[in-house]
Amino acid sequence: MNLALVDPFVLAQDCPEVITGHLRSGHSTSIRFSHRGHLLASGRHDGIIIIFDIETNGVARKLRGHTRQIQSLSWSTNDRYLLSAGQDWKVVLWDLQDGSRLRTVRFEAPIFIAELHPKNHHLFVAAVVEDQPVLVDTSNETPVKHPLSSAPLRTQEERDNATEKQTAQDARVATTVTVFTPSGDHIISGTSKGWLNIIDTTTRETVYSNRITNNIIVFVRLTPSGRDLVINASDRVVRTLHLPDLSDPALDFSTLQLEVEHKFQDLVQRLSWNHVSFSPTGEYVTASTWMNHHIYVWERGQGSLVKILEGTKEELSAVEWHPFRPFVAAVGVDTGRIWLWSVLQPQRWSALAPDFVEVEENHEYVEKEDEFDIQPLEEIHKRRLNQEDEEVDVLTIEPVKTTTGVDAGDIGFRMPVLLDIEASDSEDEVVAVGAGQYRRRNDKEWVNDDDVGDTATNGTGVQNGTKRRRNQYG
Amino acid sequence: MSSTRDLSPSPKRHREDDDEDTSASPPRKRTATSSPSPSRSRTNSPPLATSPTALPSRPAHRPSRSESRENEDSYYHRATPPSPPKPTSLHYTPHLLLTGHKKPISSASFSPSGTLIATASADCTIKIWDAHTGALHHTLSGHLAGISTLAWSPDSTTLASGSDDKTIRLWNTSTGSAHPKPFIGHHNYIYSLAFSPKGNMLVSGSYDEAVFLWDVRSARIMRSLPAHSDPIGGVEFVRDGTLIVSCANDGLIRVWDTATGQCLRTIVHEDNAPVTSVKFSPNGKYILAWTLDSCIRLWDYVEGKGRCVKTYQGHTNKKYSLSGAFGVYGEGRKHAFVASGSEDGSVFLWDVSSKNVLQRLEAHTGAVLSVDTHPSEPLIVSAGMDKTVRVWRCSDVLVNGAENGHREHEGYDDEVELPPYPFA
C-alpha cells in the first residue's frame, strides 16, 4: 500500500546500490528467499537452519535436524514447507507451521542440490554426487526414489554409430545440478560434461539435450517466468539462455535449438564465479566471485556489466535476489554473515512539512481569486462540510499485482510468531574469528550494530540520535 | 467529575483536571509538568482552544437536520440501480453488561477471531471476556500503573498492553500468563499500540513523543520514528503492514514507510486541533482521525497532500482521547459506518459516505472512551469512565438476515438495569 506514496524515482531503481546491513546467526553457508520475500532461510555450517524475518532482521525460527553443513534450500510455493539438503547426506522437508520435520530422506552420497516441485511439496529432485539424479516422492512415509538419467539424449542414428569410447563417456556423465521449471512439468539438469538436459517429470525421460560447454555446469537458475536460464560453468563463463515455453504441447523437442544469449565473463582477471542468480524479472544477472570480494551485476538487455556490489571484506559465496525488491543478499565465506545490499531512500523533507512542495525550478505564484477575501470562519466551515458529498468506499480492497505475478498483498501462509526464539538462541554458539580461533557468539552482535551495516540501515535512526539508545537496549 | 482526581496516576483517557482548576489557572503548556500525573485531557487550556476555529461552529442540532437534507440529496442525485436500499438507521440494542473493573476503562476491543473481548483499565488490570456470553476468562495483572491501550496479535493468541508504567507487556490470551520479557524503552506513558498484520512487529506511541517499532520476537526496538514534537495519540498499521500512521497532540498525522522508517506524508488540518486517535480504513485507503474539536475526519492520504473527505460531527470530544472503529451494515455487509464514543456518554454510529447519524446509543453514564466493532458479527463493544463494558447487538432482521435474535437475551444480565440516561 506504500507504493502510491513512495518517491517514483526510488521505485524506478531496480538495482541495489549499497550495503544496508547484515544478518547474523552462526556461520551461514547457503541462503534462499521465500517466494513472498518475507523470510530468508539460511543454512548454517553446523547444520542448523535459521529462518530470518526480512522485515525485522531477526530470527523467526530455528530448524534442527542436520548434523553437517547445509548445501541447498528450497521453498514450497506457498512458503510453508522448506526442503534442505545437507552434507550429512540427508534431505529434510520441514513444515514451518510448527517447525517439525515432515520427511527425512537419506542418500548414499553427498547432495549437490535438492529442489522442491513447485506445485507438489511431496516431490523433489536432487542431484547426488557421483550418482544419478533422483526424483523423490515423499507423499508416503517411506520415500520413493526414481532415478533419472544423466546421459545426454542421443538419436537412434548417433546411438548406432556410437563408439565404445563414447558410450563409456556417456555413462560417466554425472549430473551436478537439477531444477524444476515453474510449471513443474520439466526438470532442467546440468552435467559434469557441460550438457544441459531437459527431463519430463511425469515420464522421467530425457527429452532434450544440448552441450553448452565442455566444462562442468556448476549451477543453473531459472527466472520465475521459467523463460530464462542462467548457467554457471567451471570455464569461468556465465551464460544466459532464452527458453521456449516448455509446457506448450506444440513444442517439438527434436527441433528445439537453444542459443546462448549472453556470455558474461571477466576477460582481464579471468574470475570464476561462485554462485549466480537472476533478478526477479530476469533483467539482471548477479554473480559472486571466487577469491574476490565483489558481486558482479550484468544487465541482460545489452549484456553489459552495470554494477559491482562491494563493501565486504570477504569473499562471498551464495548470492540471492529478493523476489520483488531491489535487494540482494550474499553469504560471506569467512564470517558466515549474510550481507544485504539495497537501495537507500533519502527522506523527502516535503513529506514532513505538509505546506511545502518540492519543485524543480522556481514557480511564479498565482494568487487565487478569493485567496485573501475575508470570510466568516463559520461560513467557510459550513461550505467545506457541504462539499464533502462524495461517495467514499472504505471497504473494497484492490489487489496489488507485482511484476512477478505473486500477489504481494497476499500474505499466504503465515508462520506463527515465536516469542521465545531468543531463549533458544542463547545456547552455545561459537564464531570463528580466525584460523583455528573461536569465541562465543556475542549476544549483541547479530543485530545490525556493526560499522558497515549501521550507517546504512539506521538511516533515520542515526539522524535523530537514537542509535545509541537502541544499542543500549539491544 | 472531580472524583476522577483519585484515579490512578496514569491512565491516559481518564485523567482530567478539575474544571475549576482549569478556569482559574492561566493557559499553561500542554505537557504534564503541572500535575503529578500528566493528563491526556486537554483541560489545561490547550493553546488552540483560545482560537474560535477550534470549536466547530455548527448549530446545536445539526446532525438531524443535515440528515434529512442529505437524504434528499442522495435521493435525487444518486442514480444507482435499485439495489436493496441502504438502511438509514441501525438498531443496536443492549446485549451484555460486563462489570468488574474498579476504575475507568480506557480500551475495549474484540479479538481478531471474534471470540474474546479484552478491556484495559486504570485499575492496572486487563480483563478478557467471552464476546458472546460475557463470561470473564482472565484477569491479567502485572502492570504497575493504569493501562491505556491494548492490541491483539492477528492470530488472537497474544495481547499486547501499553501502560503508564512505561512498559509494554505481552499476554498469552489462552492461559492468561504474561510473557516474561516486558518491552522496555519508552521514557513515558504508552498511549497506543498496534500489531503488524503478520504479528512480527509492534508499533508503540508514547507520551515521550516517540514512536517505536519493536521486533516482537526479541522484544527489541527495531526502529525509532522521529515522529512528533508532542505526545503521540495513536498509531496503527495499514492492512498490508507497509505503512504506519501516527498522530499527536501537535495536530499532525504522519504516514511512515514501515520498511525504511521514512515519513511519506504529513497531514494537518488547518485548525491544528490535537489528534488523539487514528485508524486506517478497512481497505487502507483512508485514515480516520479523532481530534479534540469534537470532530472525526476521514482523510484521503494518497491524493495530493492529504485531503479531508468527510467530517463526522455530533459527538462531544474535547478532553479525552476517544477511539472508535469502522463497522459494516446493510445487505451483504457492504455499507460502512464509523463508530465512536462521546463524552456525553453515548455512542455514535455514522454512515461513512452520507455522514448521517445512523444510531445514537445512550450507552454509559460517563464519557465513552473506547468503542470497537466485531470483525464478523453485528456486535459493538463500548467502555468508558463509568467502569462498565457494554456489548451491543444489532437485531435488525433487514440488516442481519437470518442470523439474529437467538441469543438476544441469553447471557444478558437482566438484574443489572441500565443506568438512567442522564442526558435525555
SS3 of A239-303: the string is EEEECCCCCCCCCCHHHCCCCEEEEECCCCCCCCEEEEEECCCCCEEEEEECCCCCEEEEECCCC
A contact test, residue of B158, B186, B222 with most A CBs within 10 A: B222
pLDDT (mean) for B244-255:
93
Which residues are CB-neighbours of A184 under 8 A, at least 6 positions away? Answer: A117, A118, A119, A120, A123, A201
pLDDT tier at B391 (50, 70, 90 boundaries)?
very high
> Any idea which of B61-65, B96-100, B190-194, B203-207 has the lowest mean pLDDT?
B61-65
Name the pLDDT band for A162 (thresholds 50, 70, 90). Answer: confident
Residue A290: the pLDDT is 87
Contacts of range B24-32, beta carbons closer than 8 Å, 24 or more positions apart: B30/B230, B30/B249, B30/B274, B31/B231, B32/B207
A354/B306 Cβ within 8 A: yes
* pLDDT value of residue A115: 93
Strand partners, B96: B391
Query: How many C-alpha atoms does A398 have within 13 Å on its Cβ side?
Result: 9
Q: Is A402 exposed, middle or buried (0-12, 13-18, 19+ CB in 10 A)?
A: middle
Q: Is A301 exposed, middle or buried (0-12, 13-18, 19+ CB in 10 A)?
A: exposed
Domain boundaries, chain A: 16-342, 444-474
What percent of chain A has a predicted confidence (pLDDT) above 70? 86
How far away is chain B from the Cα of A354, in angstroms, using its nearest Cα?
5
- Cα dihedral sign, A283-A289-A295-A298: negative
A215, pLDDT greater than 70: yes
The answer to whether residue B162 scores a pLDDT higher than 70 is: yes
Locate the chain B residue with the closest alpha carbon to A349: B263
**Residue B18 touches chain A, beta carbons under 8 Å:** no
Residue B396 CB partners (closer than 8 Å, separation 6+): B87, B90, B91, B378, B404
- Within 10 A of A55 (CB to CB), how many other CB atoms are there? 21
Touching check for B55 and chain A: CB below 8 Å?
A: no
**What average pLDDT does range A19-38 have in this prediction?**
90
Percent of chain B with pLDDT over 70: 73
- pLDDT tens-digit map of A110-131: 999 999 999 888 999 999 888 8
Nearest residue to A192 via CA among A163, A212, A222: A212
* Pairwise CB contact (< 8 Å): B259 & A55: yes
Q: Please check the confidence at residue A445 and state whether its pLDDT lies above 60.
A: no
Higher-pLDDT residue of A365 and A53 is A53
A56 contact residues in B (CB cutoff 8 A): 200-201, 215-218, 222
pLDDT at B56 over 80: no
**B416 compared with A337, residue with greater pLDDT:** A337
Q: Complex ipTM, two decimals?
A: 0.79
A53 touches chain B (CB under 8 A): yes
Query: Does the CB of B244 have a partner CB in chain A at under 8 Å?
Result: no
Which chain B residues touch A58 with a CB distance below 8 Å?
200, 215, 217-218, 220, 222
B contact residues 190-229, partner A, Cβ 8 Å cutoff:
196-201, 215-226
| Alpha carbon distance B409, B402 (integer Å) | 17
> What is residue B5's three-state secondary structure?
helix
Lowest-pLDDT range of A407-411, B194-198, B247-251, B410-414: B410-414
% pLDDT > 90, chain B? 56
**Higher pLDDT residue, B419 or B304?**
B304
Fold designation for A16-342: Methylamine Dehydrogenase; Chain H (2.130.10)
Query: If you count them, how many residues does chain B have?
Result: 424
A394 and B216 in contact by Cβ < 8 A?
no
Compute how many other C-beta atoms are within 10 angstroms of the C-beta atom of residue B177.
Answer: 13
pLDDT tops 60 at residue B295 = yes
For residue A437, the model assigns a pLDDT of 53
pLDDT beyond 70 at B63 = no
Higher pLDDT, B298 or B11: B298
Which residue among B221, B225, B262 sits closest to A470, beta carbon to beta carbon? B221
* Residue B279 pLDDT > 70: yes
Per DSSP (E only), the strands in B210-364 are: 211-215, 220-225, 232-237, 243-248, 252-257, 263-268, 275-280, 286-291, 295-300, 307-312, 324-329, 335-341, 346-351, 357-362
| Per-residue confidence (pLDDT) for residue B291, from 0 to 100 | 94
Average pLDDT score over residue span B78-106: 80
Minimal Cβ distance to B170: which of A394, A419, A470: A419
Q: Report CB contact under 8 Å: B226, A463.
A: yes
- The answer, for A411 touching chain B at a CB cutoff of 8 Å, is yes
The residue of chain B nearest to residue A415, with distances taken between CA atoms, is B198
What is the pLDDT confidence band of residue B53, given thresholds at 50, 70 and 90? Answer: very low
Residue A461 has pLDDT above 70, yes or no: no
- Short-list B241, B69, B371, CA closest to A38: B241
pLDDT at A276: 92
pLDDT, greater one: A386 or A260? A260
CB B279 within 8 A of CB B324: yes
B83 Cα to chain A: minimum distance (Å): 16
**Helix or strand run (H / E) with residue B184:** strand B183-184
What is the set of domains in chain B, with CATH numbers? Answer: 2-54 (no CATH), 64-71+89-400 (2.130.10.10)
Beta carbons of B298 and A395 less than 8 Å apart:
no
Contacts of A400 in chain B (CB under 8 A): 240
Strand partners, A287: A276, A296
Q: What's the pLDDT at A173?
A: 85
**Mean pLDDT of chain A, nearest integer:** 81
Cell of B177: 500468563
β-sheet with A70-75: strand ranges across? A70-75, A81-86, A90-95, A100-106
| pLDDT category of residue A6 using cuts at 50, 70 and 90 | confident
Please name which of B102, B103, B74, B106 lies closest in space to residue B88, comparing C-alpha atoms.
B74
Per DSSP bridges, beta strands B324-329 and B307-312 are: unpaired
Rounded mean pLDDT, A17-31: 89
Looking at residue A435, its pLDDT comes to 52
Of A162-171, A309-318, B394-403, the range with the highest mean pLDDT is A309-318
Compute the distance between CA of residue B17 and CA of residue B82 in angstroms, rounded to an integer. Answer: 53
Does the distance separating the beta carbons of B311 and A385 come in below 8 Å?
yes
Q: What per-residue confidence (pLDDT) applies to B67?
A: 41
pLDDT reported for residue A471: 43
Contacts of A454 (CB under 8 A, 6+ apart): A448, A462, A467
For A349-405, write each residue's pLDDT tens digit: 888 887 777 778 888 888 888 778 787 878 878 888 888 778 888 888 877 654 444
Q: Measured between alpha carbons, how far is B43 from A279 in angstroms, rounded to an integer?
A: 57
Residue A34 pLDDT: 92
What lies within 8 Å, CB to CB, of B15 at 6+ separation is B4, B7, B35, B37, B38, B39, B40, B41
Sort B61 into a burial class: Cβ within 10 Å, 0-12 / 13-18 / 19+. exposed
Query: Is the pLDDT assigned to residue B76 strictly greater than 60?
Result: no
List pLDDT tens digits, range B94-134: 999 999 999 999 999 999 999 999 999 999 999 999 999 99
Per-residue confidence (pLDDT) for residue A401, from 0 to 100: 54
- Residues of B (61-100) whose Cβ lies below 8 Å from A: 70, 73, 78
pLDDT (0 to 100) of residue B43: 36
Alpha-carbon span A242 to A300, nearest angstrom: 11
- What cell does A225 get? 517466468
More confident residue, B80 or B392: B392
Give the list of residues 6+ apart from residue A283 with CB closer than 8 angstroms, or none. Answer: A14, A299, A300, A301
**A385–chain B Cβ distance below 8 A for any pair:** yes
CA geometry: angle A294, A296, A302, nearest 5 deg? 160
8 A C-beta contact, residue B316 and residue B343: yes
